[in-house]
Amino acid sequence: LGLGARALGESDSLGDDETITLVCSLMDDLLEQDGAVQPAQVSPIADYALAAAASTSLELEPRRAALHLCACLVGTRRRAVVKQKLLPAMLARLFEVCSSGGIGAPDDDDDDESKVYKMAAQVFETVAELVPSK
């Protein structure tokens, strides 16, 4: 996790599309394992995933991988997310991604689920289902 943590700590540069997709996939796999990610590591992972998801300079696939990582983070480490008070910032960033889709924009030939803003809305739904309202 050391190399991944260093990559996550470099907030100035997220990396190229392939690197971001790979880091998000690795972090997703680590989150699925018990004890592989400590609570202190949740905040940098969330920051990285949200920054990648909100970056309009990236291609579709790394942004989708980052949003999937956000959903996995909430699903597997919701206590740490709530305890560290990451939820307000996470919801604000997700809202930014959702609103970047352009309401009323003409649909491309891509299927609807490939749209980044629709995936962000799905992460919102995951948060609503998994995180208590208190």
Calculate Rg over the CA atoms of the chain.
14
The conformation of residue 119, written as its DSSP 8-state character, comes to: H
pLDDT digits (tens, 9 = 90+) for 43-56: 999 999 999 998 88
Higher per-residue confidence, 99 vs 82: 82
Statement: residue 125 has pLDDT above 70:
yes
Q: Note whether 43 and 82 are within 8 A (CB).
A: no
* Residue 128 confidence (pLDDT): 86
Nearest to 101 by CA among 62, 53, 68: 53
Statement: residue 134 has pLDDT above 50:
yes
Statement: residue 84 has pLDDT above 60:
yes
Statement: residue 112 has pLDDT above 50:
no
Average pLDDT for residues 64-80, to the nearest whole number?
A: 92
d(CA 116, CA 54): 9
* Residue 101 confidence (pLDDT): 63
Size of the chain in residues: 134
Nearest to 62 by CA among 113, 95, 23, 5: 23
The model's pTM is 0.79
Average pLDDT for residues 94-113, to the nearest whole number?
A: 62
* Residue 65 confidence (pLDDT): 94
* Residue 10 confidence (pLDDT): 47
Q: Note whether 127 and 74 are within 8 A (CB).
A: yes
